[in-house]
Structure 1
Amino acid sequence: MQEKGWSVNIVIDEHEGLTRAKAQLYAEDRSDLIGVGMARLNPADSNIPVIGDELATARALADLAHQLIEATAADIERVTKETPHLRA
């Protein structure tokens, strides 16, 4: 069995109560997929940065996963000439 290694690099930045995470997939020749997620601090909440980091990262990974499913569907359609019916 041959193993493959894919990795995701996540970069998080914060500015004025807004946390943004970018999740970039590195897989063979595919590094064009970048998911983005945002989290905003509610002024009534305590400022606990790790919570914003977690939420923004989860949203970025969900966005990346959606893009990967769409890319997979496009690849299948290109090869089979039929519309695939993939579920998330």
Structure 2
Amino acid sequence: MEKQWKIDITLEEDGNRTACTATLAGEGAPRVTGHGYSRRSPADAPDSRIGDEVAASRACSNLAHELLEQAAGVIEQHTHSPAHLTG
């Protein structure tokens, strides 16, 4: 059986700072959201693409950690033992 989940990315920029929310979506997808931020150094030239990419990568990384934590919680509910997820 094939399942398909997607990550919805929402970016908000205020000129020097970019905030990103990454949300897992799709049928049967767990409700998980990640957040990431970037801030432009005053010495750097404005380039919104860089801020978007940094904030999005941080939000996706946070989402991955949140998803792994959620999976560990489900494992612990089933096994009644601490989950040890590595790798």
TM range (shorter): over 0.9
1:7-46 alignment runs, 5 A limit: 7-27=6-26, 28=28, 30=30, 32-46=31-45
Q: How far does residue 29 in structure 1 lie from its aligned partner after superposition?
A: 5.0
1:49-76 CA deviation, whole Å, 9 max, x = no partner?
1000000000000100000010000000
Q: Partners in 2 of 1:68 and 1:33 — Cα distance?
A: 6
Give the root-mean-square deviation of aligned CA atoms: 1.2
* Number of residue pairs matched by the alignment: 86
Task: Report what 1:55 is aligned to.
Answer: 54
Q: Matched residue of 2:50: which SS?
A: helix
Q: Partners in 1 of 2:29 and 2:59 — Cα distance?
A: 21
Q: Partners in 2 of 1:67 and 1:26 — Cα distance?
A: 14
Percentage of pairs with the same residue = 37
TM normalised by structure 1 equals 0.92
TM normalised by structure 2 equals 0.93
